[in-house]
């Protein structure tokens, strides 16, 4: 028997969702179905379901940093992403640990910053100090920044209502330091299509996709960012990885399902082969 080869690996630095729809659970599910081994640095543990976020505890910053350092020292991280980072202190620890591990826009390992600032239920996930730390410490370190339109407003003050507004937002966000900006259009419900926008400081690339009539979209942003990260870990150039992420999340939303009393998750099951039984 020949020895198996190691698959590419990607790291998610994110919070846990006890409902399994978003957070690190969504990231790991996406990594797996995109052919990437998932590594984890847990930042917080939430108590939540489809009815809301009921409680949470944040992981001590040195433990968050230690997780990043441990896996990066041993397991050949191909790309990394963030999700919920919980506090300014955790963001500071993540920035320092990523620098030490050569993760970042001008470093060896691509870094996708998904600036998760609020839960889908509208609960803020960190305070003003956390938002300032995100803007000042992580955006300039990002290979790719992947905000939704609510996060665009928090980071820039711009209220996007159309595709031109997305272009304006991408320019404003790029000036904050990331190498690339991917503005996600899922919340632009007045647009009959769902056209995400990638910007590198010079060129815009539109990523078109259908807008599906379903309420079950929990975890869509996480799935897009983590599929993008998986593509980078597999060695894809940024534009190709962005198209890969868009392809993945479009299919995930198309195959979303109900789970619980309110908004159900997008699906990764469409990537699994059907079972063959005798």
> Is residue 118 over pLDDT 70?
no
Q: What is the DSSP string of 84-139?
A: ---SHHHHHHHHHHHHHTTBSTTSSB-EEE----B-TTS-BSS-HHHHHHIIIIIG
Q: Is 123 a residue whose pLDDT tops 80?
A: no
Tokens 């937002």 sit on residue: 169
Q: CA 174 to CA 187: how far, in whole Å?
A: 20
Position 117 pLDDT exceeds 90: no
Q: For 45, list phi and psi in degrees, rounded to 5.
A: -120, 120
Mean pLDDT within 250-275? 94
Residue 246 has pLDDT above 80, yes or no: yes
The band of 254, judged by pLDDT with boundaries at 50, 70 and 90, is very high
pLDDT, tens digit, for every residue of 140-174? Answer: 999 999 999 999 999 999 999 999 999 999 999 99
Taking each helix axis from N to C end, the angle separating 23-33 and 220-233, rounded to the nearest 10 degrees, works out to: 40
Query: How far apart are alpha carbons 235 and 221 in whole angstroms?
Result: 22
Hey, what are 238's tokens?
A: 């940024």
Structure tokens at 200: 């590198």
Q: Which residue has the tokens 């963030």?
A: 82
pLDDT (tens digit, 9 = 90+) per residue, 175-218?
A: 999 999 999 999 998 999 999 999 999 999 999 999 999 999 99
Which domains are delineated in the chain? 9-147+216-250 (3.40.1190.20)
H or E segment to which residue 206 belongs: strand 204-207
Residue 110 scores a pLDDT above 70? yes
The residue behind tokens 């889908």 is 120
Tell me the per-residue pLDDT of 41-55, one tens digit each, with 9 for 90 and over. Answer: 999 999 999 998 899
Per-residue pLDDT band for 4 (boundaries 50, 70, 90) equals confident
Q: Give the mean pLDDT of the chain.
A: 94
Instruction: Please choose, from the candidates 209, 199, 193, 200, the residue with its C-alpha nearest in 3D space to the C-alpha of residue 245.
Output: 209
pTM, rounded to two decimals: 0.96
pLDDT digits over 212-245, tens only? 999 999 999 999 999 999 999 999 999 999 999 9
């Amino acid at each position: 028997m020949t020895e198996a080869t190691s698959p590419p690996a990607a790291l998610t630095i994110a919070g846990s969702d006890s409902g399994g729809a978003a957070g690190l659970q969504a990231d790991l599910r996406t990594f797996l179905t995109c052919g990437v081994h998932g590594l984890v640095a847990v930042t917080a543990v939430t108590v939540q379901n489809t009815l809301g976020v009921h409680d949470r505890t944040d992981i001590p910053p040195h433990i968050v940093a230690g997780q990043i350092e441990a896996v990066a020292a041993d397991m050949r991280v191909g790309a990394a992403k963030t999700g919920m980072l919980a506090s300014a202190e955790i963001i500071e620890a993540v920035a320092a640990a990523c620098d030490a591990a050569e993760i970042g826009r001008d470093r060896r390992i691509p870094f996708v910053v998904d600036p998760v600032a609020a839960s889908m239920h509208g609960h803020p996930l960190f305070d003003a100090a956390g938002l300032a730390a995100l803007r000042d410490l992580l955006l300039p370190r990002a290979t790719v920044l992947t905000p939704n339109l609510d996060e665009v407003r928090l980071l820039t003050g711009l209220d996007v209502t159309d595709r031109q507004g997305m272009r304006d937002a991408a320019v404003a966000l790029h000036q904050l330091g990331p190498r690339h900006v991917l503005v996600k259009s899922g919340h632009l419900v007045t647009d009959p299509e769902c056209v995400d926008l990638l910007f590198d400081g010079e060129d815009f690339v539109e990523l078109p996709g259908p807008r599906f009539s379903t309420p079950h979209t929990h975890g869509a942003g996480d799935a897009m960012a983590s599929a993008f990260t998986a593509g980078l870990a597999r060695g894809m150039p940024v534009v190709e990885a962005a198209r890969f992420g868009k392809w993945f999340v479009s299919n995930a939303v198309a195959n979303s399902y109900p789970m619980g009393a309110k908004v159900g998750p997008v699906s990764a099951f469409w990537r699994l082969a059907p079972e063959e039984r005798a």
